[in-house]
Amino acid sequence: MKVVDTIPRMSTLVKIFKKEGKSISLIPTMGYLHEGHLSLVRAARKHTDVVVMSIFVNPMQFGPKEDFEKYPRDLKRDEHLAASAGVDVIFHPSVSDMYPAGYSTYVEVCGLGDTLCGASRPGHFKGVTTVVAKLFQIVRPNIAYFGQKDAQQAIIIKKMTEDLNMGIEIKIMPIVREPDGLAMSSRNAYLSPAERKNAPALYESLKKAETLVRSGEKDAAKIIKATEDMIRVIPNAKIDYVSMVDPRNLKKIKTVTGETLIALAVFIGKTRLIDNIIVKGAK
């Protein structure tokens, strides 16, 4: 496995791969890898000749009061995990390489980034789409892999790719969960033992919502209230949002008539966790 830390070196390597007729997959990450990331690697390994994983904590997608400085980082650990899962190249650029002095170009998908996580994290998805667009330009992948846990991000990136005719296939892979149901996330490392014990209740609340839908409940307000009621009994929990939206365009729904994305963001102590589930209304 190669570790490449500059854009020119990565671009040169990509040219070699392309000249050899090799297909490339890209898995964009911010590092501190877990099984969710590694499941993307294993999927990519089946479909392309070369698997590239980017590890870059992108300052552009963090707000001024968010956790950019303390975001967990451990490159040596990540290298070991990536190699064991089948990554061929880790691309680990510096902030100054990605955003040199005078950088002033941004990519934004209008509309989709203003709701859900975007409502409480203004500018976040502008930072996500900008860095992903840059990574796509540098690595030139045939396929890029993302996780369903970041459902809004995945929908926005698919829209960007389509609108800009990037010619990259976007594959969205299922959420990988801990045995107790907690969605795997690098930010889970922030949780205290007590908070970690309570955090799986978020998934339990989503499963409750799914049960209501399957039993015939169609009123989104009632489903959301039942979900929020379960969350409110979690110690030190603060709801950012619980929402039911159309997974195609992220518009809020009032009545469940088809496939629906139920998404939530909740602070457990100081740690903001997100999760989601897709449900289908009863016929």
What pLDDT digit, counting tens, does each position of 44-96 carry? 999 999 999 999 999 999 999 899 999 999 999 999 999 999 999 999 999 99
Q: What is the 3-state secondary structure (H, E, C) of 156-170?
A: HHHHHHHHCCCCCEE
The three-class DSSP label of residue 227 is helix
Q: Which residues are catalytic?
A: 37
What is the C-alpha to C-alpha distance for residues 183 and 176, in angstroms, rounded to an integer? 6
Look at residue 283 in the predicted model and tell me its pLDDT.
Answer: 59
Is residue 106 located within the same domain as residue 190?
no
Q: Is residue 280 part of a domain?
A: no
Q: Which of 173, 194, 227 is the last residue of a domain?
A: 173
Q: Is residue 141 part of a domain?
A: yes
Q: Is residue 36 part of a domain?
A: yes
The residue whose two tokens read 């009994």 is 233
Is residue 137 located within the same domain as residue 55?
yes
* Number of structural domains in the chain: 2
Is residue 197 within 8 A of residue 237, CB to CB? The reply is no
Is residue 194 located within the same domain as residue 260?
yes
Is residue 134 located within the same domain as residue 86?
yes
Q: Which of 139, 173, 207 is the last residue of a domain?
A: 173
Domain that holds residue 251: 186-273
Look at residue 38 in the predicted model and tell me its pLDDT.
Answer: 98
Look at residue 273 in the predicted model and tell me its pLDDT.
Answer: 98
Look at residue 282 in the predicted model and tell me its pLDDT.
Answer: 65
Is residue 92 located within the same domain as residue 119?
yes
What is the C-alpha to C-alpha distance for residues 252 and 246, in angstroms, rounded to an integer? 6
Look at residue 229 in the predicted model and tell me its pLDDT.
Answer: 98
Burial 202-215 (b: 16+ CB within 10 A, else e): bbbbbebbbebbee
* CA distance to 29, 76, 122, 235, per residue, from 73 (Å): 11, 9, 24, 28
What is the C-alpha to C-alpha distance for residues 126 and 118, in angstroms, rounded to an integer? 9
Within its chain, how far is the Cα of 36 from the centroid? 10
* CA distance to 59, 152, 153, per residue, from 125 (Å): 12, 9, 7
For residue 145, count CB atoms less than 10 angstroms from its CB and return exposed for 0-12, middle for 13-18, buried for 19 or more.
Answer: buried
Which pTM value belongs to this model? 0.95
* Sequence-separated (6 or more) residues with CB below 8 Å from residue 141: 24, 25, 26, 48, 52, 168
Tokens at 205, concatenated: 């609340």
CATH number at residue 196: 3.30.1300.10
Is residue 250 located within the same domain as residue 151?
no
Look at residue 281 in the predicted model and tell me its pLDDT.
Answer: 74
Q: Which of 109, 138, 173 is the last residue of a domain?
A: 173
Is residue 220 located within the same domain as residue 118?
no
Task: Provide the residue-wise pLDDT of the chain in tens; the chain has 283 residues.
Answer: 999 999 999 999 999 999 999 999 999 999 999 999 999 999 999 999 999 999 999 999 999 989 999 999 999 999 999 999 999 999 999 999 999 999 999 999 999 999 999 999 999 999 999 999 999 999 999 999 999 999 999 999 999 999 999 999 999 999 999 999 999 999 999 999 999 999 999 999 999 999 999 999 999 999 999 999 999 999 999 999 999 999 999 999 999 998 999 999 999 999 999 999 999 876 5
Within its chain, how far is the Cα of 228 from the centroid? 23
Is residue 60 located within the same domain as residue 151?
yes
Residue 122 has a CB neighbour count (10 Å cut-off) of: 11
Q: Is residue 89 part of a domain?
A: yes
* Sequence-separated (6 or more) residues with CB below 8 Å from residue 268: 191, 195, 198, 199, 202, 234, 236, 237
